[in-house]
Amino acid sequence: MANKIHPTAVVDSKAEIGDGVIVGPHSYIEAGAVIGDNNEIGSSVWISSYSRIGNENRIFHGAAIGGPPQDLKFTGENTTLEIGDRNTIREFVTMNRGTSASGKTVVGSDNLIMSYCHIAHDCRVGSHIVLANSTNMGGHVEIHDWAILGGMVPIHQFCRIGAHAMVGTASRIVKDVPPYLLIGADPTRPVGINVIGLERRGFSGETVRNLKELYKIVYRSRLGLAAALEKVRQVLPPIAEIAAFVEFVESTSRGIIK
């Protein structure tokens, strides 16, 4: 399929553009950018030389893709931003490339990234994630698959959001959010397991019940964290979801939200 590039768009001859790509008015794609097939790029979008974009993404007006890190230690290293397939990237989203610390920023596939979100240098964003408007990440943040973040959520650098977690609007994330949790704001705190989200994803009733028991042990038993995890191992079945929660918590460097 032929590409459709608006006459006012600037696409450098050294950019690699796939088939079926639409580029809107006044967009600028630099030399060295790699863009796959069937992408739709709106008006006034900037895509830097260091961007690697897969197939069937939709990038809306004013997005800035692959810009240099907002990091005073950055000295122009050859780093990248990698984006997968079928993402929706709404108006004025900014995504920065990596630093020498990891070499790249990575965004997976099938994500909805709403207007004014910021994905900073060296972040790792998985797949099937929803980032509502004005969610802003510090460097090195990890968002695991199927997480949902409400609008205006600031995330401190190096924090992790676990798989299938749901974070409420305006929650201030300064520690790791374990998988499967529901996080409320004002004050930011865990309020239970993300039951509705898990049911929508097809988790069995038995699995959800076991995760509820895990939540009670870790967050309501008044045990220390190490003792709570040991009790989880003793009294709950060794299913994959329990193991994933325990592994996530034991690997934290910033501590978990409590």
The four Cα atoms 230, 232, 238, 240 give a dihedral, to 10 degrees, of -110
Q: Write the secondary structure of the chain as one string of H (helix), E (strand) and C (coil).
A: CCCEECCCCEECCCCEECCCCEECCCCEECCCCEECCCCEECCCCEECCCEEECCCCEECCCCEEEECCCCCCCCCCCCEEEECCCCEECCCCEEECCCCCCCEEEECCCCEECCCCEECCCCEECCCCEECCCCEECCCCEECCCCEECCCCEECCCCEECCCCEECCCCCECCEECCCEEEECCCCEEEEECHHHHHHCCCCHHHHHHHHHHHHHHHHCCCCHHHHHHHHHHHCCCCHHHHHHHHHHHCCCCCECC
Instruction: Answer whether 85's CB lies under 8 Å from 55's CB.
Output: yes
Sheet holding 28-29, edge to edge: 10-11, 28-29, 46-47, 64-67, 94-96, 118-119, 136-137, 154-155
Sheet holding 104-107, edge to edge: 16-17, 34-35, 51-53, 80-83, 104-107, 124-125, 142-143, 160-161
What does pLDDT average to over the chain?
A: 98
Task: Quote the pLDDT of residue 186.
Answer: 84
Task: Quote the pLDDT of residue 206.
Answer: 98
| pLDDT band with cut points at 50, 70 and 90 for residue 193 | very high
Q: What mean pLDDT comes out for the span 153-172?
A: 98
Q: What mean pLDDT comes out for the span 180-186?
A: 94
Rounded Cα gap, residues 228 and 22, in angstroms: 53
Among positive and negative, which fits the CA dihedral 249, 255, 257, 258? positive
Percent of the chain with pLDDT over 90: 98
Rounded Cα gap, residues 198 and 205, in angstroms: 9
Q: What mean pLDDT comes out for the span 97-103?
A: 94
Amino acid at 182: L
Task: Quote the pLDDT of residue 185.
Answer: 84
Would you say residue 1 has pLDDT above 90? Answer: no
Rounded Cα gap, residues 153 and 120, in angstroms: 14
Distances (CA, A) of 162 to 121, 144, 190, 256: 19, 5, 13, 11
More confident residue, 148 or 101: 148
Strands 58-59 and 88-89: parallel
Q: Domains along the chain?
A: 4-143 (2.160.10.10), 198-250 (1.20.1180.10)
Would you say residue 65 has pLDDT above 90? Answer: yes
Would you say residue 221 has pLDDT above 90? Answer: yes
Q: What mean pLDDT comes out for the span 173-194?
A: 96
Would you say residue 130 has pLDDT above 90? Answer: yes
Q: What mean pLDDT comes out for the span 141-164?
A: 99
pTM of the predicted protein model: 0.96
| pLDDT band with cut points at 50, 70 and 90 for residue 22 | very high
Would you say residue 43 has pLDDT above 90? Answer: yes
Task: Quote the pLDDT of residue 53.
Answer: 99
Catalytic residues: 121-122, 139
